[in-house]
A and B are shown apart, each in its own frame.
Chain A
């Protein structure tokens, strides 16, 4: 069965501190990996995808196939980063499975 684990329900950091949101996936095969974000009173939206190797709003994510992890990182958190973050592997023609989410709270 497909499973995505985001172990932290809530992560609180101070502004300027580094942040890492953990994601581990358990699948047979090779999924594509995505991170989605939901800001307060906004729709769920894509933050970044592994295949693009991109950095969005200072966030990066490294895929470790050996550990089946896709952790999201940012060296210096900002207050506007406060949001709900979801890790989402995609399988079999864009069938997305979402983790339980991590609420990031960046304190001033």
Chain B
């Protein structure tokens, strides 16, 4: 069966520091991968979407970037965090086929201080 791992669960970082959140999927190949941010009152905002290694689509302009160095690894990064980057970040995957669901990780609570 497939599993998704996302870490760390919580993170407190100072303004201006770098960020690296990692997500890995097991038990499947060639998944679609996603990074979402969940903000209070705003739901889940799609940040990045990937259909393959090195193929990243950015949905909104922001201070963050994503990379997919391996088929089942998705990394969310920032060179210098801003206070506004605080939030709850969710990684997800889905099969390539249309009409299939997304499977979510446990999420990372990021607080920038």
Contacts and interface: CB of A to CB of B under 8 A. Distances in A.
Q: A and B: real partners?
A: yes
A32 interface: yes
Contacts, number: 57
B104 interface: yes
Contact of A49 (B45, B92, B99, B106): B99
Contacts of B32: 93-94
* Size bracket, chain B contacts: 20 to 34
Contacts of A46: 101-102
B106 A43 contact: yes
Interface in A1-40: 4, 6, 9, 32, 34, 36
Contacts of B106: 43
Interface string B52-86: 00000000000000000000000000000000000
Given A43-B105, A43-B106, A44-B90, A94 B41 contact: no
A59 interface: no
* Size bracket, chain A contacts: 20 to 34
Contacts of A9: 41
Contacts of A96: 34, 46, 92, 94, 102
Contact of B99 (A88, A90, A95, A98): A90
Contacts of B102: 36, 46, 88, 94, 96
A93 B51 contact: yes
Contacts of B45: 98
Interface in A34-86: 34, 36, 43-46, 49, 51, 86
A34 B41 contact: no
Closest 5 CB pairs of A and B: A100-B43, A98-B44, A46-B101, A44-B104, A94-B94
Interface of A: 4, 6, 9, 32, 34, 36, 43-46, 49, 51, 86, 88, 90, 93-101
